[in-house]
A and B are shown apart, each in its own frame.
Chain A
Amino acid sequence: MSRYTPPEQSKAGQVFDIAVVVVAIFVALWLPLKLGLAGAAKSIDALDAKTWEALGQNPTMASIWEKLGYTPETAHDIIQNRFHYIIDWPTLIIMAAVLIGYFVFLFRASDREYRDVINEKFDDK
């Protein structure tokens, strides 16, 4: 099998590729932050009665909250800020499909490239 000789990349091409990668990294990490996709999906279940008992805290817990500088009013938004685990099937299916599709593509494309590598490496000798 003939050896594959890659083209030499020009300086400008190298700089351009670095720029592509940097932009991709920023888009991937920064865009979800901006679009509000990042972070936890939590919401506050407001309570009318703001006492330690209503917040489900026993005297030991209440004493610790107070030691940490909280009152039932200030602790309310922390204690009642909760996750609501509802399994949203369409999103779950999309997520599973995206993940599986990604891994399948990864392994198949890698295997194609890998065969070239092995052929060239072991047939030369």
Chain B
Amino acid sequence: MTVALENNITTTIHGDRVSLLRVLGPAHVWALGVGIVLVGEFTGWNFSADKGGALAALIVCWVVGLLYTSVAMIDSEVTSTVAAAGGQYAQAKHIVGPLMAFNVALFLVFAYTMLEVSDAILLGDTIVAKAGVEGLTHNSFIAATIVVLAWLNYRGVLMTLNVNFVITAIAYVSIVVLFFSVSPWTQGAVLKLNELVTPGNALPYGWIGVIAAFQFGIWYYLGIEGTTQAAEEVRSPARSLPYGTMAGMITLLIAAAMTWYVCASLMPWEYLGITYYPLWDAGKLTGSPLLENLLFIATLLAALASANGCINDAARAWFSLGRDRYLPSWFSAVHPKYRTPYRSILFLLPIALAFAFIADLNQAITFSILSGVLQYTFMSINIMMFRKKWPLGSIRRGYTHPFHPLPAIVLFCLCVVTFFAIFLGFGSQLIAMVAFYFLISLWFHFYRYKFVRRGDQFTMPWPKPQGY
């Protein structure tokens, strides 16, 4: 890591220009992706048990895993080719068009900011629950989480993601430790899966419950696509991004399966569906104070890692919007010393704080999921257009995903199912969100776009797209 740092000191200011620093390797990409997502195992995924029962949670864990494998494959291909900060935003700009790009950037900023808010609330609530002190509120812990992490992000991306790598690894190891300490190979001693998940209660709402559970099944993996935000800071994006994203996805599939198995074997689904700390509770229920404390700390670390990655990603998306003048160019400033999009980081900080103080965990998570699913719907169409406008061989791709167009079709179908799942129980919130995106799109298309330079938006050294 130090070698990498020294090598890239040379990428400093060219004349009087400043840009983001290229210092990251595949491990950082993994840390960014898994760091954001892993908190989902510590809270959030279990709400899918609330919507459909314990078995539904397992089914969606796998089916949504398939959705995200498609996301990771598609994303790896496009992003290894369009390697720019802003990730899916830059992809949309080159492949679909400016208005789509504007919306995608907003999906990203909302998904990550609300995820950051959820993380901060989770961290605050976990500490308050642990302390059990009368009158202690979560506000101070929320403020400290958001401000300290914003500060870390402000000071430089390398340190930010090094920290993320360490805390994500510790949180991940704690899941593995929990899994092996409850002797997963023998049921009945600690784990009682067959008594807790019975034929009578496995699917309490029937199959419609399984569909409904898709909504929170998203939470097992939401944010893995955030790895692309680092594209401008990774040393060799064409190689590191696919590698880090795929490795992250495999890591998460394993963690999700272990988490479900342990939690469903320790708690009745009605409780599992409403607790904010499924893994910490699992630690408690094993009766070992060591495991309980380990999972308590891991919950905090996972929340920190996630919020940290979210600040990183949301700021990059916001920064890219400013750079193309989709929003005032003031946001596109890079810190001359730390080489971070410091104004974007500072601008998003009070917004995150405000929502962390007024929203509750469930609502913040739903906002985030909604923006995420809108974005995946875009991705499935985007890859189709990408292959059509620049067929294989017409440009150099860092990675080409197999079985096209199957992953895109699978992704699209699963997105439709997820929209229906959100409709079951959270329908009015969905309509309100889409109405917002619609209105802000009108604002952009008819007013804001006049400040944008046309041809300059297309920055990739590609030939003209086919059909134009």
Say whether A78 contacts B441, CB under 8 Å.
Answer: no
Kindly state whether residue B136 has any CB partner on chain A within 8 Å.
Answer: no
Say whether B428 contacts A24, CB under 8 Å.
Answer: no
Determine which of B198, B200, B328 lies in contact with A14 in the assembled complex, contact meaning CB atoms within 8 Å.
Answer: B328
Determine which of B268, B358, B437, B464 lies in contact with A61 in the assembled complex, contact meaning CB atoms within 8 Å.
Answer: B268
Known: A3-B454, A78-B270, A109-B99. A92 touches B431 (CB 8 A): no
The total of Cβ contacts below 8 Å across the A-B interface reads 199
- Nearest A residue to B204 by beta-carbon distance? A82
Kindly state whether residue A50 has any CB partner on chain B within 8 Å.
Answer: no
Residue with the greatest number of chain A CB neighbours at <10 A, chosen from B98, B212, B435: B98
Determine which of A18, A61, A98, A112 lies in contact with B327 in the assembled complex, contact meaning CB atoms within 8 Å.
Answer: A18
Tell me the chain B residues, 343-378 only, with Cβ under 8 Å from chain A.
351, 354-355, 358-360, 362-363, 366-367, 377
Determine which of A38, A98, A102 lies in contact with B366 in the assembled complex, contact meaning CB atoms within 8 Å.
Answer: A38
The interface size of chain B toward A, counting residues with CB under 8 Å, comes to 83
Determine which of B98, B325, B438 lies in contact with A113 in the assembled complex, contact meaning CB atoms within 8 Å.
Answer: B98
Known: A33-B358, A105-B438, A122-B464. A110 touches B96 (CB 8 A): yes
Residues of chain B within 8 A of A21, CB atoms compared: 327, 440
Say whether B196 contacts A6, CB under 8 Å.
Answer: no
Known: A14-B328, A20-B443. A107 touches B274 (CB 8 A): no
Cα-based distance from A68 to B195 in the complex (angstroms): 17
Cα-based distance from A121 to B325 in the complex (angstroms): 17
Residues of chain B within 8 A of A27, CB atoms compared: 436
Interface residues of chain A: helix, strand, loop or mixed (majority) = helix
Kindly state whether residue B180 has any CB partner on chain A within 8 Å.
Answer: no
Known: A107-B381, A113-B99. A121 touches B430 (CB 8 A): no
B102 to chain A: closest CB distance in Å?
9
Determine which of A32, A64, A83, A121 lies in contact with B205 in the assembled complex, contact meaning CB atoms within 8 Å.
Answer: A83
Say whether A61 contacts B196, CB under 8 Å.
Answer: yes
Residue with the greatest number of chain A CB neighbours at <10 A, chosen from B51, B362, B428: B428
Interface residues of chain B: helix, strand, loop or mixed (majority) = helix
A64 to chain B: closest CB distance in Å?
6
Say whether A17 contacts B328, CB under 8 Å.
Answer: yes
Residue with the greatest number of chain B CB neighbours at <10 A, chosen from A40, A41, A95, A114: A114
Chain A interface size band reads 35 or more
Known: A61-B196, A61-B268, A124-B455. A113 touches B205 (CB 8 A): no
Cα-based distance from A14 to B464 in the complex (angstroms): 33
Determine which of A78, A110, A111, A116 lies in contact with B454 in the assembled complex, contact meaning CB atoms within 8 Å.
Answer: A116
- Nearest B residue to A30 by beta-carbon distance? B358
Residues of chain B within 8 A of A9, CB atoms compared: 328, 451
Residues of chain B within 8 A of A40, CB atoms compared: 50, 362, 425-426
Cα-based distance from A101 to B431 in the complex (angstroms): 12
Kindly state whether residue B155 has any CB partner on chain A within 8 Å.
Answer: no
Residues of chain A within 8 A of B445, CB atoms compared: 109, 113
- Nearest B residue to A91 by beta-carbon distance? B427
Residues of chain A within 8 A of B434, CB atoms compared: 98-99, 102
Known: A29-B355, A37-B432. A83 touches B424 (CB 8 A): yes
Kindly state whether residue B89 has any CB partner on chain A within 8 Å.
Answer: no
Chain A contacts to B: CB under 8 angstroms: 3-7, 9, 14-15, 17-18, 20-22, 24-33, 37-42, 56-58, 60-61, 64-65, 67-68, 75, 78-79, 81, 83, 85, 87-88, 91-92, 94-95, 98-99, 101-103, 105-107, 109-122, 124
Chain B contacts to A: CB under 8 angstroms: 50-51, 92, 96-101, 103, 110, 114, 192, 195-196, 198, 200-201, 205, 208-209, 212, 266-268, 270-271, 274, 281, 284-285, 325, 327-330, 351, 354-355, 358-360, 362-363, 366-367, 377, 381, 419, 423-441, 443, 445, 448-455, 457-458, 464-465, 468
11 A-B pairs with C-beta separation under 8 A = A5-B453, A6-B453, A20-B443, A38-B363, A39-B363, A40-B425, A83-B209, A85-B212, A87-B424, A118-B465, A119-B455
What are the 6 tightest A-B residue pairs by CB atom distance, in nearest-first order?
Answer: A110-B97, A114-B97, A120-B455, A28-B436, A14-B328, A60-B195
